[in-house]
Amino acid sequence: MTPAFSICVYCGSRSGNDTAFTEVARATGHWIGAHGGQLVYGGGRNGLMGVVADAALAAGARVTGIIPASMVEKEWAHTGCTDLQVVDTMHERKRRMAEQADAFVALPGGIGTLEEFFEAWTWRQLGYHDKPVGLLNLNGYYDSLLAFLRGSVGQDFMAPWQMDLIRTGDSVPELLAGLVQDAGMAPAAQLANL
């Protein structure tokens, strides 16, 4: 069965120090599966990555994990993925994730999560893709980052339209439904029930 949509999730390979992070990862995976979607992610089994994948699988989602061979060798791969793609480099990983997604969302995470989020956003503003990009700002996790970015606009290193290319929110259902709608993968009437 073909998934109704495909969301690439970027998130921590660690769990953080607040159980709310784990809960939001679980809610994200569950939402994707409960609405007939596919999860595309970095293929890891640790931290929030493993939580979102397990929740998506439990909710019936197709889960595509894309991971470099060096990480498989360290036993970091989630072998329960519906489709685990092993690649040679991080560049290949990110390219495949971008190709197989209709939208992108970043949950709480560290430098890897931020790097992937910024690349997806940069590619969009350069016109390499026109897929929606979201940032889940749970409990203000990204408040200081967003303030910094608004400061960049104020200092004329960015334009307001670039900020408008990302959708932010703290509610998993609202943010994911908005991204799916922005991607044109579901009619507005259907999304009202998501």
Q: Both tokens of residue 51?
A: 């939580």
* Structure-token match 């290193």, residue found: 157
Judged against a pLDDT cut of 50, whether residue 189 lies above it is answered with no
Q: State residue 192's pLDDT score.
A: 47
Length of the chain: 194
CB 108 within 8 A of CB 138: yes
Average pLDDT over residues 24-37: 97
Q: State residue 139's pLDDT score.
A: 95
Judged against a pLDDT cut of 70, whether residue 187 lies above it is answered with no
pTM: 0.94
Average pLDDT over residues 7-26: 96
- Domains belonging to the chain, first-starting first, are 6-139+165-185 (3.40.50.450)
Cα–Cα separations (whole angstroms), residue 131 to 48, 107, 125, 144:
23, 17, 10, 25
pLDDT in tens, 43-97: 999 999 999 999 999 999 999 999 999 988 888 999 999 999 999 999 999 999 9
